[in-house]
Amino acid sequence: MNPRSAHIGQIPPEEVYASLHSSPQGLTSSEVTERLIHVGPNLFEVVDRWKLARTMGRQFTNFFAILLIVSAMICFIAHRINPNEGMGVLGWALIVVALLNALFSFIQESRAEKAMEALKKFLPHLVEVCRDNRISRIPASGIVPGDVVVLSEGDKIAADLRIVASDGLMIDNAPLTGESEAIRLTSQMQDRGLEECENIGFAGCAVVKGTGRGVVFATGLRTRFGHIAQLSQTIRRTGSPLEREISRMIRILTTIACTMGFSFFFYGVVSGKPLWMNLVFMMGIIVANVPEGLLPTLTLALVMGSLRMAKKNVLVTSLNAVEALGAVHVICTDKTGTLTLNQLTITRMVEPRSGVAMLPEREQELATLAIAASDIHQTADQLLGDPLDVAVAYKWSNLGLGTLATVQQQVVRSFAFDVEKRRSGGIVNLAGRRLFVVKGAFEAIRPMVSVVGPDKNIEEKMLLAEQLAASETVMQQMAAQGLRVIAVAYRQLTVEESETIPDEAGADSLEHDLILAGFLGIEDPVRPEVAPAVVKCHTAGIEVVMITGDHPATALAVATKAGIVAPGSTTYLTGEALKRLTVEALVEQLQQGVRVFARTTPEQKMKIVTALKHMDRVVAMTGDGVNDAPAMRAADIGIAMGKHGTDVARESAQIILLDDNFASIVDGIEEGRTVFENMKKFTSYVLVSNGPEILPYLLYIVLPVPLALNIIHILSIDLGTDLVPSMGLGQEPVDPEVMRKPPRNPSQNLLTRQLMVRSYCFLGLIEALWALFLFFFVLFSGGWHYGAVLDASSPLHQSATGITLSTILLMQIGNLVGRRYEFRSGLDPGLFSNRLIFAGILIQIIFSWAILYWPPLARALNTGPVAAETYGLAWLGIVIIFTIDYLRKVLVTRRENGVAPPGRDDV
């Protein structure tokens, strides 16, 4: 073995067997057994027996679940002490809420890992191996390092192999490299890195042609494909900003609820109140403080958001991605198909020496020659063939030269594109002459050229070398503009040559003394909607990073056209440079404005994600290939291409672009930001009703007064009447301002101190005071006097609690309208502009009436009727809360800005 050999690809084929302790006859069964025990079966799944149990356990160990379960326990204890108060029912209700919440989250989290299923499609079930000098088919899971695998056309490769014999072996490496062109594998040693060696067959790839033999050197998760599989399964997605925010919010509200509940429980015990009363009180405080309906409303808002996104071709597979997309700071996007149309188009046809655009008649000549060297098949509705040939055909048609069939009839022979020669050709009869035409890369055609075509724009008396140098310059200039340059050359065949039509191999003899006819400039045009979308991103403070495998010049040209970089920018990083950079150095490069990564491999996306996350950015990463899956999982948001993406990419992503269009991502971001803004609105709305829910309990414990609201009343608000209005706020339309602000700071909270003070101590207090005023108004009007004990089932108490509940419901209407805008009244867009808000208002009105005057509901809630005038006073509450809130908005606006600028609404 060569001492410098660093891996199996760098040693000669005859030494491979010895290096892997194998032989051409294959392993013996005892060797197989030993190796199987040591390295394990050739499996690609990461086994985690406890994953489901852990996921389920997590659902019952969060603050919210613990709170609900503890509350339920207290209810059951209370029910045991005093069975007539219906606390048992409440306990079961809380258990059901806890279970439903846990079940919902569990389903979300443990959504079957379909990515692995998609990956498995690339692997074979059976493999042909040589063992004990016999060839047999065995399950792919049973192969071990040292096994000799026999490969033939159509086989999928089960493990990483060092090829030791090859007979025209062509492998499709697309699952690993994304390259659609098959590569020819050899058995000869190569002095390259393992990944680049063309004597290695990688697991997950397929044999498209030929036969061969390979010796296994890595199996299962140790193969290159296994690395992708492992990362796709084990990389833990970072919790979305919303997940973190919700858990923080729950933690705060739970802490407040429990602190208040237990404090006043002990106060009650110390002040000598009965245990039963203290327990009821504690439960009331806790239940009143926890907005039980908030989590379902948040979920519903996300569902609604995802449905709206779907209409914009953005399919969401994980609900949290809806909001996370709105929080994105950086979009890392592919080029082909996402920024561009993935449709090659000839945009320039130039003279070969001067580089001047051709005149129409010259364009026609060049197009006709090019079509003679193309291989296209026309069906009823489309053109089939190599994308470059199709582009030539479209150009030819656009020049109005007739039908394609007419020119194809004159083509007597086509020579298919040769990967190694980098050119295609054809023989065509044109204007009574028989011409041999070649079309391909200039470097490939240049050695055959003896004359560079006539050019009116330039002096004719030039030496061939000068002519070619001029053409080289033209070609370089076109390439620098991001164009793919194709040269077209031809020559008239001699009489002798015209008599015989050569086969594929015979074309070689014709390739000399060609006349360079011109250059075709081909590009994949940038989608028209991309540039405005990028502008929108920049306005919204979102950076766009382009990652492509293309040449830097092409990448920069597309990035400039898309507006990702300024015209004239030459800042980019290649994959090679990226490989040499540390993460810290890459961070510096990104900070200095590198936005284009060219000649990169999908694996390098991971490094870019790591660097961006190091910069505290929320990253969205697009991808379509199998090997994009790990980077998409590592990013905050993985975005897969729906049209051209692989199943693996789609299953690894949280978002699928149905039209592969970059502009759709931006639409999704707008929607995501709107969802967050709306969440703030309904969180604020929901918390306001906590004020009038808590205050009656505080009065009840410190003063000799009846309880104004029982726990069922609180739940009827939180889990009943508040739900539809909250959903209405969650459905508020997109505000154009939302994309003129920078992305929200990840530390910006849904639940701020300001919001809590306003909800509990201002709006909540107003609601509480007016509701309690009417409660005592009804009590005093009914003959109750301060300190008197009033039975909960007495009609007077029922009427008083009825009006309290009814007032809260009605005042929530004023609160609802006010929450639509931070600084505007909320009436300006009209109450009918949002159907759910209108429905919510109707529900509040109907319930406020029904709990007083509809006996079945009144019985269920233990409420009773009041005089119509008193009910009228409850309606006055709407005006009170709305007016005072609006005055506050005006004052705050004036204090901050003097006068409120029109349209200002920084929620």
Is residue 194 classed as helix, strand or coil in its secondary structure?
Answer: coil
Secondary element (H or E) of residue 144: none
One-letter-per-residue 3-state SS of 151-179 = ECCCCECCCEEEEEEEEEEEEECHHHHCC
Binder among 78, 558, 606, 800 for other proteins (CB under 8 A): 606
Q: Kindly state whether residue 235 participates in binding other proteins, applying the rule CB under 8 A.
A: yes
Residues linked to residue 126 through DSSP beta bridges, in sequence order? 139
Total interface residues for other proteins by CB under 8 A? 55
Is residue 452 classed as helix, strand or coil in its secondary structure?
Answer: strand
Residue closest to 259 by CA, chosen among 213, 229, 290: 290
Binder among 212, 268, 284, 630 for other proteins (CB under 8 A): 630
Cβ at position 21, least distance to other proteins in Å: 6
Cβ at position 594, least distance to other proteins in Å: 18
Q: Kindly state whether residue 116 participates in binding other proteins, applying the rule CB under 8 A.
A: no
Q: Kindly state whether residue 520 participates in binding other proteins, applying the rule CB under 8 A.
A: no
Name residues contacting other proteins, limited to 25-54 (CB under 8 A): 31, 34-35, 37-39, 46
Cβ at position 3, least distance to other proteins in Å: 5
Cβ at position 648, least distance to other proteins in Å: 16
Q: Which stretch binds other proteins (CB under 8 A): 113-121, 275-283, 554-562, 581-589?
A: 581-589
Is residue 62 classed as helix, strand or coil in its secondary structure?
Answer: coil
Cβ at position 38, least distance to other proteins in Å: 5
Q: Kindly state whether residue 1 participates in binding other proteins, applying the rule CB under 8 A.
A: yes
CA distance 61 to 68: 11
Q: What is the number of H-type helices and E-type strands within the chain?
A: 35, 24
Q: Which stretch binds other proteins (CB under 8 A): 301-309, 521-529, 579-587, 750-758?
A: 579-587
Question: Where are the alpha helices (H) located in 271-331, listed in sequence order?
Answer: 275-289, 294-311, 320-326
Q: Kindly state whether residue 141 participates in binding other proteins, applying the rule CB under 8 A.
A: no
CA distance 350 to 442: 14
Candidate list 334, 455, 524, 660, residue with the active-site label: 334
If the CB atoms of residues 450 and 749 are measured against other proteins, the closer one turns out to be: 749
Beta strands in 345-468 (DSSP E): 345-350, 376-378, 383-385, 411-418, 423-430, 433-440, 449-452
Provide the terminal-to-terminal Cα distance of the chain, rounded to the nearest Å.
70
Beta strands in 122-239 (DSSP E): 126-131, 134-139, 148-151, 160-172, 183-184, 200-201, 206-218
Cβ at position 146, least distance to other proteins in Å: 8
Cβ at position 285, least distance to other proteins in Å: 23
State the pairing for strand pair 345-350/376-378.
unpaired
Is 418 part of the annotated catalytic residue set? no
Cα dihedral across residues 350, 353, 359, 361: positive or negative: negative
Q: Kindly state whether residue 142 participates in binding other proteins, applying the rule CB under 8 A.
A: no
Residue closest to 220 by CA, chosen among 33, 22, 47: 47
Binder among 28, 343, 345, 610 for other proteins (CB under 8 A): 610
Binder among 61, 188, 403, 883 for other proteins (CB under 8 A): 61
Q: Kindly state whether residue 21 participates in binding other proteins, applying the rule CB under 8 A.
A: yes
Task: Give the up-direction half-sphere exposure of residue 317: CA atoms within 13 A in the CB hemisphere.
Answer: 23
Cβ at position 640, least distance to other proteins in Å: 20
If the CB atoms of residues 18 and 103 are measured against other proteins, the closer one turns out to be: 18
State the pairing for strand pair 573-574/345-350.
unpaired
If the CB atoms of residues 27 and 449 are measured against other proteins, the closer one turns out to be: 27
Name residues contacting other proteins, limited to 237-266 (CB under 8 A): 239, 247-248, 251
Name residues contacting other proteins, limited to 144-173 (CB under 8 A): 145-146, 160, 162
Are 217 and 43 in contact by the 8 Å Cβ rule? The answer is no
Q: Kindly state whether residue 746 participates in binding other proteins, applying the rule CB under 8 A.
A: yes
Residues 6+ apart with CB under 8 A from 310: 316
Binder among 198, 524, 603, 722 for other proteins (CB under 8 A): 603
Cβ at position 581, least distance to other proteins in Å: 9
Are 801 and 866 in contact by the 8 Å Cβ rule? The answer is no
Q: What would the x/- binding string for other proteins be over residues 490 to 509, using CB under 8 A?
A: --------------------
Cβ at position 543, least distance to other proteins in Å: 20
Q: Which stretch binds other proteins (CB under 8 A): 55-63, 279-287, 753-761, 807-815?
A: 55-63
Q: Rounded to the nearest 5°, which phi and psi values hold at 622?
A: -90, 160
Q: Kindly state whether residue 291 participates in binding other proteins, applying the rule CB under 8 A.
A: no
If the CB atoms of residues 122 and 436 are measured against other proteins, the closer one turns out to be: 122
CA distance 92 to 75: 9
Angle 482-624-301 from CA coordinates, rounded to 5°? 115
Cα torsion 464, 465, 469, 471 to 10°: value is: 20
If the CB atoms of residues 7 and 904 are measured against other proteins, the closer one turns out to be: 7
Q: Kindly state whether residue 587 participates in binding other proteins, applying the rule CB under 8 A.
A: no
Binder among 120, 222, 888, 889 for other proteins (CB under 8 A): 222
Q: Kindly state whether residue 546 participates in binding other proteins, applying the rule CB under 8 A.
A: no
Residue at 372: amino acid letter = A
Binder among 87, 189, 194, 555 for other proteins (CB under 8 A): 194
Alpha carbon 827 to its chain centroid, in Å, reads: 36
Q: Kindly state whether residue 217 participates in binding other proteins, applying the rule CB under 8 A.
A: yes
Are 522 and 347 in contact by the 8 Å Cβ rule? The answer is yes
CA distance 323 to 326: 5
Cβ at position 842, least distance to other proteins in Å: 40
Q: Kindly state whether residue 234 participates in binding other proteins, applying the rule CB under 8 A.
A: yes
Cβ at position 296, least distance to other proteins in Å: 21
Binder among 209, 227, 536, 888 for other proteins (CB under 8 A): 227
If the CB atoms of residues 41 and 901 are measured against other proteins, the closer one turns out to be: 41
Are 162 and 145 in contact by the 8 Å Cβ rule? The answer is no
Is residue 492 classed as helix, strand or coil in its secondary structure?
Answer: strand
Are 653 and 638 in contact by the 8 Å Cβ rule? The answer is yes
Catalytic residues: 334
Interface ranges with other proteins (CB under 8 A): 1-3, 5-8, 11, 18-21, 31, 34-35, 37-39, 46, 58, 61-62, 145-146, 160, 162, 193-194, 217-218, 221-222, 226-227, 230-231, 234-236, 239, 247-248, 251, 580, 582-584, 603, 606, 610, 616, 630, 634, 746-747
